[in-house]
């Protein structure tokens, strides 16, 4: 229970920090754009999203942050990671709730797949959170002199690990007989994976530039 509360607290802080960070940029440009996003920024997001596996989801989830992103590949990647974190976090909470609610026998295969799924999603949340933290340190003073390449390789490693963990969740249901909980969880996790995959693609684009 205390772990749950702590986790909730940490995520509230994280989201507060994110909005605090994103908001000032948004209001700063509102004066010029009358509240509408800069169309160059929108085009930039559309073109960048075109390099991901799920361009429509990418564009619809990131374009609301156009004012904060502008045409900055680092900000684009960071916002994409934040969006994927929020999806993964909500999914982990959803599955955690199901482990308590689903009427599976204690030792059934379905029950253990559900528990394993939660622990994989929980790992994914931590990895995505680690990526976001690392992204925030890029270009910041006192980042220990670590190279951009090194910092980005950490972000790439964690985001791919998160994607693998999400995949492990659905793989874990392979031997479980079809049932509504299985298909509900697998469908939802498949949706969450798209956001992680897109964020990883945008992270890779940014890393490949070789400069912050
Ligand atoms: C997206 O890519 C497709 C082909 O890969 C291309 O035809 C289309 O013009 C691109 N759209 C944008 C907005 O870049
Ligand atoms: C999980 O359960 C808690 C407590 O009942 C609820 O507040 C939360 O919204 C649920 N999470 C999801 C993702 O459904």
Task: Please write the tens of the pLDDT for every residue from 177-212.
Answer: 998 999 999 999 999 999 999 999 999 999 999 888
Ligand nearest 97 Cα, by number? 2
Which of the 8 DSSP states describes residue 146?
A: -
Whether 180 is covered by a domain: the verdict is yes
Whether 25 is covered by a domain: the verdict is no
Domain that holds residue 132: 72-209
Q: At what angle do helices 73-101 and 180-209 cross, to 10 degrees?
A: 160
C-beta of 84 in contact with ligand 2 (< 6 A): no
Residue 65: is its pLDDT beyond 80?
Answer: yes
Whether 22 is covered by a domain: the verdict is no
Q: Please state, in angstroms and rounded to a whole number, the distance separating the CA atoms of residues 175 and 177.
A: 6
Q: Work out how many domains the chain is built from and give that number.
A: 1
Please, what is the average pLDDT of the chain?
A: 84
pLDDT for position 145: 56
pLDDT for position 107: 58
pTM score, whole prediction: 0.82
pLDDT in tens, 88-138: 999 999 999 999 887 666 658 889 999 999 999 999 999 999 999 999 988
Whether 77 is covered by a domain: the verdict is yes
Whether 158 is covered by a domain: the verdict is yes
Task: Give residue for tokens 């607290």.
Answer: 9
Whether 15 is covered by a domain: the verdict is no
Cα 193 to ligand 2 centroid, rounded to whole Å: 20
What tokens does 105 get? 């026998």
Q: Whose CA is nearest to atom 8 of ligand 1?
A: 50
Whether 2 is covered by a domain: the verdict is no
Q: Which atom of ligand 1 is nearest to the CA of 55?
A: 1
The residue with greater pLDDT, 101 or 18, is 101
Q: Say if residue 7 is exposed, middle or buried (CB neighbours under 10 Å; 0-12, 13-18, 19+).
A: middle
Q: Which atom of ligand 2 is nearest to the CA of 96?
A: 1
Whether 6 is covered by a domain: the verdict is no
Q: Whose CA is nearest to atom 1 of ligand 2?
A: 97
Q: Domain holding 202: CATH number?
A: 1.20.140.40
Cα 38 to ligand 1 centroid, rounded to whole Å: 20
Ligand nearest 96 Cα, by number? 2
Residues in CB range of 77: below 8 A, 6 or more apart: 135, 155, 199, 202, 203, 205, 206
């Amino acid at each position: 229970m205390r772990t749950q509360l702590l986790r909730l607290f940490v995520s509230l802080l994280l989201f507060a920090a994110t909005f605090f960070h994103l908001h000032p940029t948004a209001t700063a440009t509102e004066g010029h754009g009358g509240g509408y996003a800069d169309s160059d920024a929108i085009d930039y997001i559309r073109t960048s999203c075109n390099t991901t596996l799920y361009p429509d989801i990418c564009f619809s989830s990131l374009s609301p942050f156009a004012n904060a992103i502008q045409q900055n590949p680092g900000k684009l990647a960071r916002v994409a990671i934040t969006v994927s974190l929020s999806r993964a976090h909500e999914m982990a909470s959803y599955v955690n709730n199901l482990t308590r609610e689903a009427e599976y026998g204690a030792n059934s295969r379905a029950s253990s797949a559900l528990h394993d799924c939660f622990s994989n999603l929980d790992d994914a949340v931590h990895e995505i959170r680690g990526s976001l933290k690392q992204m925030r340190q890029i270009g910041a003073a006192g980042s220990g002199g670590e190279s951009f390449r090194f910092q980005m390789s950490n972000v790439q490693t964690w985001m791919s690990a998160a994607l693998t963990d999400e995949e492990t969740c659905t793989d874990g249901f392979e031997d479980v007989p079809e049932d509504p909980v299985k298909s509900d969880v697998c469908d939802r996790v498949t949706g969450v994976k798209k956001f992680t995959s897109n964020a990883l693609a945008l992270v890779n684009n940014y890393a490949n530039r070789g400069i912050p």
